[in-house]
């Protein structure tokens, strides 16, 4: 997983040659922190087929506002530089992340 921020977001995610999954998390978000090990494991299983990035919302508030992210956890799924789907809040489960990731392939 690559750490993304306002400086590298376009290059790493939007202009990526691969479809991308972005994990928007917060350092005080219990569900975010609980999911992170599973997400990192999932990311390694898609190595070379999908790019996974994680974005700390506390350090990137303006970018989150631009992305219309109102709460965490939120996952954004990019294909061809555009958001193709998103899940947030109670809808975020490892199964939902995997299901949306599969649709990108």
Active site positions, annotated: 29, 32
CA 62 to chain centre: 16
3-state SS of 65-102? Answer: HHCCCCCCCEEEEEECCEEEEEEEHHHCCHHHHHHHHH
Say how far apart CA 20 and CA 78 lie, in whole Å.
5
Largest CA distance in the chain: 32
């Amino acid at each position: 997983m690559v750490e993304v921020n306002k400086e590298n977001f376009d290059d790493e995610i939007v202009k990526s040659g691969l479809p991308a999954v972005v994990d928007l998390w917060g350092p005080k978000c219990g569900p975010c922190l609980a999911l992170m090990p599973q997400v990192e494991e999932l990311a390694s299983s898609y190595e070379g087929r999908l790019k996974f990035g994680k974005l700390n919302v506390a350090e990137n508030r303006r970018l989150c506002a631009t992305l219309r992210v109102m709460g965490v956890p939120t996952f954004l799924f990019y294909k061809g530089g555009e958001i193709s789907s998103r899940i947030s809040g109670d809808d975020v489960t490892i199964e939902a992340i995997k299901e949306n990731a599969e649709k990108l392939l």
